[in-house]
Structure 1
Amino acid sequence: MSSLVVVTDTGVRTPLLQDLSPPVPHSDSGVREEEIVPLPSPNELDESKANPTDPKQRLVSLDVFRGLTVALMILVDDAGGAFPSINHSPWFGVTLADFVMPFFLFGVGVSVSLVFKKVSSKPAAIRKVMVRTVKLFLLGLVLNGGYFHGRNHLSYGVDVRQIRWMGVLQRISIGYLFVSILEIWLVNKVAVDSAVTFVQKYVIQWVVAILLGSLYMCLLYGLYVPDWAIEVTSMNLTSFASGYGSGTQIVHCGVRGNLEPPCNAVGLIDRFFLGEQHLYQHPVYRRTKECSVNSPDYGPLPPNSPGWCLAPFDPEGILSSLMAAITCFMGLHFGHIIVHYKDHMQRVILWSLSSLPLLLLGYVLDVLGILFYVSIWFAIKDQIFVSKWS
């Protein structure tokens, strides 16, 4: 016998799939309200990548440029001995190896413009810069080497009389310090919305850079270089210099504005402030025709070779580091263009026009012209801020 069961409808519906999330408030009408969020379109995804809010994001083109520069450095270091044509130029001219250092300095400038585009505390930022500068400089001293006693000496340790004060990392630290100070302290508080306001924001930096470049040119062509003497010791002599004996060699100069290896103002300043024993003892000009029978490679001294072939010379000296700082500034300036202008063609045009003063000022330096084309590569290749810090 069947029975009839009466079910009363209470108005409450139990879903088949239980939702354990917190209940959503109902409206007065009894209808459940839900917020519908549309999925982003592919264009919006690309736009979100191009304009992120995360400050720990990187400039891919800068990372690629750094990697290519490191690859170029490895190439010329390993193959430069076998192929002197890609090794550093003995003196005048430019080769593939001569681009490595300027490329690194250019990248430093671009990085500084991105790191310090917003500075909350100038004293804290400058302390960070000073600490990093000192670390780079000290690391450069360690990597230079050449001042430790060997097995045949009476004792082991550091001989401070032979320390080479300047070097590659020291030069990078000087350029980094220069552009960081410019970016932290010498930027006007102007909102960039046109080319005029862009110039107004960074005009003080340009004035300082042009003055520094002018100082370099004045010292290079205006300083009087007198005759000077070199003490030929066992530290100078090599297997290629068997014709020389220990003693004093006189280098005859008495000129101004000379750019040859023995009588330029760069060497004069380094010898005066650093001392000959603290300079690079195997300079690249020993591969010139005057100093090597195998030029442009190293080799024995030719007959009647000049005494300055054995003189030390620092390629990363004091005066030459001024123009290295200008190279960093060029990278800094292009970083400003990357920050304020997103259109690639605008970047190319602005960089071309704004680089003319420094290109004219540094016409004697072939590397500045090459950096112009590097910046165009940045402008065309760049996809700004699309990868993150690891």
Structure 2
Amino acid sequence: MKKILLPQICFAISLLSAYPAYGIPEIEPNNSFTDRQTLPSNTASVNGSISPGDIDFFKFPGFEAGTGFVAEVTQGNFDSFLGFLDDKGDLLGLDDDGGAEPLSRIAGIVPDSGNINLGLTGFADISFVGDHLQLGDYELSIDTFPSSDVDYSVTEVPFVFEDISTTGTRVLEGADDQTVSADLGFTFNFFGQDFTSVSWSPNGLLTFDGSNGDFDNIDFNVPFPDLPGRGPFEELPSIAPLWDDWRFSSPGTDAGYFQTLGNPGQRRFITQWNLAEAFPDSPSAITFQSVLFEGSNEILFSYLDVDSEDSQAFGNGATVGIRNTLGDRTGELLQFSFNTPAIRNRQALLFSPELVPEPVPEPASLLGLFVFGMLGAGSVLTCKSQK
């Protein structure tokens, strides 16, 4: 399994005079793929603008084949379309509002040639032929990330559930697909990158580097190009304890809670979905948690009650697992179940990182839970991600 670390090399394509002076100016004409502007290797930025009927094409050479990248229009005052093309000019993927709406964001894998070919046009020029009336300046950035040596396994462990509904911070009361973010209180490493905050929604999904309130769960194993129109949601580093269409907006539901517990070095960030209801109106509410551990960087899913007494009971309509950016193409994912009633009441799943090929020592945070008598002995089930 190839591994990726999140952005370490950054390139910015910028078009406003107020943008960084070190940028390379866009050169016209480059409104056809054949006339695309080839930039020097390791270009930091390129500046330009869009007018009605105009398309800007760029070739970024010199990247390591097989590594992942994210291209994003980070500044702009028009509705952009961003395309990723192969060396023949055929579209490999496109995005409309995947970034900070209405800006675009797209992810991909560097081809064998080492070239990243990008086309920038305006809404709604989905065929990249110049059929748009957009006008304005923009800044487009590219983040690339080399491989890392982190793998994950998932083990069913004896059930533990720290109820924080009376001690934690209450959020998302009355919410359906809204999101909320919070600081972890420590640094958490996920697939090789450090994070200090996380976002989540009532729908049982946590994400890093951005928010995802989508109620429509996906199969982590399905590549993004097979999901047109979905935007970059599944390209965010994602933790899915029970990603499905849940809400806190009906009578009988409660809210979400979060809390950081423990001493420095062994803290844990708990997110609790307390009495969530399945859309549109499940007979019974459910309660479950995710726990992120400091130091060991483990992830624990705890399911107190997941019987919604309808077709979504026991994870039958949910994604359960973890996935990094571009995980479907790099192997950086571990899916426990998808739209299968594979989850039980009073079940706990522990996702543990380890170095490849050597495993890490027994994680201190989990040992701490054993010491406190919160877990019994032995595990039931162990699965590993595939290389």
Q: Where on the TM-score scale, by shorter chain, does this alignment land: which range?
A: under 0.3
TM-score by length of 2: 0.21
Q: Highest relative contact order (Cα 8 Å, sep 6+), 1 or 2?
A: 1
Normalized per residue, the structure richer in strand is: 2
- Greater share of helix: 1
